[in-house]
Chain A
Amino acid sequence: MAPHRLHLAVILFALLATGCAANVTVEQPTIPEPHIEQLPLSVAVRIPAKFNNFVHEENVLGRETWTIDLGSANAAFFKQLFSYMFENVIILGPDDNALDHTFDALVEPDIEGFEFSVPNQSKTDAFAVWIRYKMRVFDSAGNSAASWTVSAYGKSQKEGIGGSKALQRAAVLAMRDAAALILLQMNKATKISDLADGPLDIPALGAESVAGPDAPPEPGGSFGIFAIGGIDDEGE
């Protein structure tokens, strides 16, 4: 085989191979400054290690492999979100000892689930992304105060060939959906503002729950709120 034909064969093979795999890298999303009143709280936010390098890989219908690299997008997103939400925010790394800091409440966000669908699956022209975040809230003494599941959804229509941009946009829209829900419902769902008055009036569950990265004991059950078409104000 002549060298130029060999090169052509290699290029064709490479093109065919990349046709079965798609990589999507999500740039760090920013959210606009919200029209909400800041909560008068000093909050420590512990960013889990996986928020700095979150990669989701999935094989769709045995044909394409999609790799979605959120990188540090979640970490940047939560830092910005909480800085808009609370008067004072302290960012803690996964290995930082929370007891070295003074705060009213500690929030530990986590990703419980990440799913997506491509047009082949949904039989539409849209890519969709679902992200399930879990928000754990602790008081200043380390007691687990609340656990809240936030289910976010983003959808974007396919543009041009491939779908990397549409899937990337759907992921960003899902994060923005989570931001809207957290901004408007977190206080109602977790009663985090009550922690400004001091720690919960219950026997301490052990200071190590906020001091270290280990999973803390669950409080009296976790719950989720799902609201569409305007936010329900009843009970606020």
Chain B
Amino acid sequence: MKVNNSLAIVTAISLSGCVTARVEDAREATTGLNDGESVVVMAKSYHQGNETEADYINCVESALGRGSKGLNVIPNQNFVDNLFPWFEPRTAPADTKGLVKLMKRPGVTDAVKKMGVRYIIWLDGDTERVAQGGSLSCAAGPGGGGCFGFAWWQNDADYEASVWDLEGYETAGTVTADFSGTSFLPALVVPIPLIARTQSKACKGLAQQLRAFIVSDEKA
């Protein structure tokens, strides 16, 4: 039984498409997170054409908070509701200059302190299908059915995270993740999908780098 399970896992791993990855950070200020301090993950405004997927934001939120070294993450909807109407897609500050002005508004600094938010992580970017090809046809008849052919597609996941420090009201730096994955679907009677989990890997890669970036005491 154990051999069967191991075989299934090995098969599943070997049957996934290939993904190439590049994750980089650019530090502008020293970071660090004290006890009781939290981070919040936000999407840049769709009013400005940003297309970051809601499930990607959820994925980064949970990846940042996962594990024994997980960060304390405030769900972004709670943050936006607690600071209504200052972090709506239309009204959220576009840069740290706007943040300084916003924090002087009555009740805003208190609400941020109450939630213990130290960093805002602004996500920008999306996952797009950039190429596809091949052909696959399926047919079914009274005696059964089947597929024949080969199809492939390539997804690119390009994301950028800007980290704002709410202690000094400054940009701490940016982390970028560029992932590219090609999926294949060969079919000889039965289609065998070899899917590249590009977005999911971009989520894990970005979250891992963000966590290291924020807790690091590296100087700018």
- Which of B90, B101, B108 meets A227, CB within 8 Å? B90
Q: In the assembly, what is the distance between CA of A180 and CA of B47, in Å?
A: 14
The proximity string for B residues 38-59 relative to A, scoring 1 for CB distances below 8 Å and 0 otherwise, is: 0000000111100101110000
Cβ of A34 and Cβ of B85 under 8 Å apart? yes
Cβ of B187 under 8 Å from chain A: no
Contact A176/B98 with A35-B83, A155-B46, A228-B48 known, Cβ cut-off 8 Å: no
Interface string of A211-236 (1 = CB under 8 A from B): 00000000000000001111101000
Q: Please state if B92 and A34 are interface contacts (CB–CB under 8 Å).
A: no
Q: Which of B54, B82, B93, B94 has the most CB of A within 10 A?
A: B54
Tell yes or no: A100 within 8 A of B by CB: no
Q: Kindly provide the distance from the CB of A31 to the nearest chain B CB, expressed in whole angstroms.
A: 7
- Rounded to whole angstroms, the CA-CA distance of A108 and B90 in the bound complex is 24
Other-chain contact of A230, B51, B92, B106 (Cβ < 8 Å)? B92
Docked Cα-Cα span, A153 to B88, in Å, equals 11
* CB < 8 Å neighbour of B84 from A35, A153, A181: A35
Contact B98 A230 (CB under 8 A): yes
Docked-complex contact B81 and A32, CB < 8 angstroms? yes
User: Counting chain A CB atoms within 10 Å of each CB, which of B55, B88, B92, B106 scores highest?
Assistant: B88
* A residues 167-210 in Cβ contact with B at 8 Å: 173, 176-177, 179-181, 183-184
Give the CA-CA distance A156 to B57 in the complex, in Å: 13
Query: Once bound together, how far apart are the Cα atoms of A47 and B46, in whole Å?
Result: 31
Complex Cα distance A188/B47, Å? 22
A36 cross-chain contacts in B, Cβ below 8 A: 85
A126 to chain B, nearest CB (A): 8
Count of residues in A whose CB is under 8 Å from the partner chain: 28
Contacts A229-B48, A230-B92; A157 near B54 (Cβ below 8 A): yes
* Residues of chain A contacted by B45 (CB below 8 angstroms): 228-229
What residues of A have a CB within 8 angstroms of the CB of B153 in the complex?
none
Q: Does B111 contact A (CB under 8 A)?
A: yes
Report whether A184 and B54 are in contact in the complex, using a CB–CB cutoff of 8 Å. Answer: no
Q: How far is the CA of A230 from the CA of B45 in the complex (A)?
A: 11
Q: Sample 30 A-B pairs with CB under 8 A, ordered by A number.
A: A31-B84, A32-B84, A33-B84, A35-B83, A35-B84, A35-B85, A36-B85, A124-B51, A126-B51, A153-B47, A153-B90, A155-B46, A157-B54, A176-B88, A180-B84, A180-B88, A181-B91, A183-B85, A184-B91, A227-B90, A228-B45, A228-B48, A228-B94, A229-B48, A229-B92, A229-B93, A229-B94, A229-B98, A230-B91, A231-B91
